[in-house]
Amino acid sequence: MKALRMTFPIALTLLASMSLAQSDAKSDAQKSFDELKTLAGAWQGPVTTFPKMAEMEGDHVEVSLRVTSRGNALVHEMKGQGTPDDPARYDHPVTMFYLDGANLLLTHYCDAGNRPRMRAKVSADGKVVEFDFLDVAGSTDYGHMDHAVFTVIDANHHTEDWTYMMPGDKPMHAHMDLQRTKQ
């Protein structure tokens, strides 16, 4: 009986420490979100499109990423380089990244007037975060964003690949090669 009384507290301690260790383990979604948050800052770089869109080809974009809501959200804003900061008159889409349970999601507030959501999957090395279309709110008369891939090259270089579904479900792909800007 004495041995049982001593064994029970030891077993409880072991179970408690095992559950704490499991709760400390980060999910793939959390690891991906943490990786994306390292991109906080200002970025710029050229855009290439497929199929080629003459009005965008070779343009440069400015991207701003900032962590907000006590680390629970990441805000991504994009605009053409040198474009006035007037989102009412110029393209200025905003994307929010956030965790929802075991999933990393994004909601893209599109200039087309809709809000597609996408769910992330991560590469084995954690440096590539790919988002697949989940659903969309709002009209898709002018198309909608359908896919996004973020690839972290290093602390000062990343790429973004965005696929937009044009009316008639014709994909348009934009690739941005972004360098961190010095401010």
- Name the residue ranges covered by the structural domains of the chain: 27-180
Checking if the pLDDT of 21 tops 60, the result is no
Asked whether residue 46 carries a pLDDT value surpassing 80, the answer given is yes
Burial class (CB in 10 A: 0-12, 13-18, 19+), 174: buried
Mean pLDDT along residues 66-95: 90
From 98, 54, 105, 99, select the one nearest 75 (Cα to Cα): 98
pLDDT over 70 (residue 20): no
Dump the DSSP string for 120-133: EEE-TTSSEEEEEE
Rg (CA), the chain: 21
Return phi, psi of residue 94, to 5°.
-120, 135
Kindly compute the dihedral angle of the four CA atoms of residues 140, 143, 149, 152, in this order, to the nearest 10 degrees. -110
| Percent share of the chain, pLDDT over 90 | 69
**Which CATH fold topology does 27-180 show?**
Lipocalin (2.40.128)
- Helix, strand, coil in percent for the chain, rounding step 5: 20, 50, 30
CA distances from 11 to 2, 17, 19, 23, 173 (A): 15, 10, 12, 18, 56
**Residue 11: band (very low, low, confident or very high) from pLDDT cuts 50, 70, 90:** very low
Place of tokens 């408690």: 16
